[in-house]
Amino acid sequence: MPVDLHVHTTASDGVLTPSEVVCTAVAADLSAIAITDHDTTDGLDEALAAGAGGRTAVLSGVELSVDEKTGSDVHVLGLLVDHRDYGLAGALAGLRLEREERAATMVAALAAAGHPIDLESVKAIAGSGSIGRVHVARALVAAGSAPSIEAAFRLLIGRDAPFYFRKRTLSAAEAIDAIHGAGGVAVLAHPGVSGESAFPVLLSAGIDGIEAFHAEHSVADQERFARLAAKHGLLVTGGSDFHAPDVRSAPIGGGGCPEGAVEALRLRARRYRS
């Protein structure tokens, strides 16, 4: 049975609730999934409850953005974290505030340029989830300022677009320390998508693994990152980066994941738990 160690819900920028994600994973006959929402663990209680006693194990996780001034967004997955850990919760609270402030700045600039959106509409789209650019993109589509989410990113709020604003993120050391402090395992997410220039810094900071298998990685990418992991004695994971049935990446279970990855993660996590 396949495993998917990179899945998003409405707690961040996914479109399915945590319970719906678990039901989708069960229907796909997955043996395990990891809920890895951006800068939040708010969906984990619901997901863990939905998966309790079922045939699909639900693993706690989070996806953190780190900034090492490499020119690309570097993401680190925290897998098997204790989502009630005080230190992790404090770090996430700060990141969530930064997300809202970035959204406010972005919306104000867009509105000044004639795009009829406001922060309240973006917050309504995000609901109780962690606000992200995808929520701004959906507001732009709803207001008629962009024909699609993809176009909104490409023309308006993507990294090279005129209304892109960076948010404050954690350093590699801060992110990895927060994950380890919560008893979790730190994994470099989709290096074939976001680049691997920060890898030496992440390695020095104590990264545990590499997401070599990802829906947007080519076979050559998979092989190269698996070799890099082996060279440095790191774990290899894989995931779909699922956000919605028809948006981005692949369906749940579609990213590929090496056999034994969950067991290897659990073994590695023991060193971070007192």
| Domain total of the chain | 1
17 in any annotated domain: yes
Alpha helix ranges (H) inside 195-260: 199-205, 219-231
Which residue type occupies 43?
G
- For 160-225, give the DSSP string: TSTT------B-HHHHHHHHHHTT-EEEE--HHHH-STTHHHHHHHT--EEEEEETT--HHHHHHH
Q: What CATH number has the domain bearing residue 39? A: 3.20.20.140
Host domain of residue 243: 3-92+169-272
pLDDT per residue, tens digit, the chain (274 aa), is 899 999 999 999 898 999 999 999 999 999 999 999 999 999 999 999 999 999 999 999 999 988 765 456 789 999 999 999 999 999 999 888 888 999 999 999 999 999 999 999 999 998 887 888 989 999 999 999 999 988 999 999 988 899 999 877 889 999 999 999 999 999 999 999 888 888 999 999 999 999 999 999 999 999 999 999 999 999 999 999 999 876 656 889 988 999 999 999 999 999 998 7
Looking at residue 68, what is its pLDDT? Answer: 62
Q: How far is CA 128 from the centre of its chain?
A: 17
For residue 113, being part of any structural domain is answered with: no
8 in a structural domain: yes
Position 28 in a domain: yes
**What's the DSSP call for residue 271?**
G
Examine residue 38 and state whether it is found in any structural domain, yes or no.
yes
pLDDT at 140: 96
Query: Does residue 154 belong to any structural domain of this protein?
Result: no
| pLDDT value, residue 161 | 94
Q: Evaluate whether residue 203 is within a structural domain.
A: yes
Helix pair angle (86-112, 172-181), 10° resolution: 140
Specify if 81 maps to a domain: yes
Dihedral (CA of 8, 104, 157, 193) sign: negative
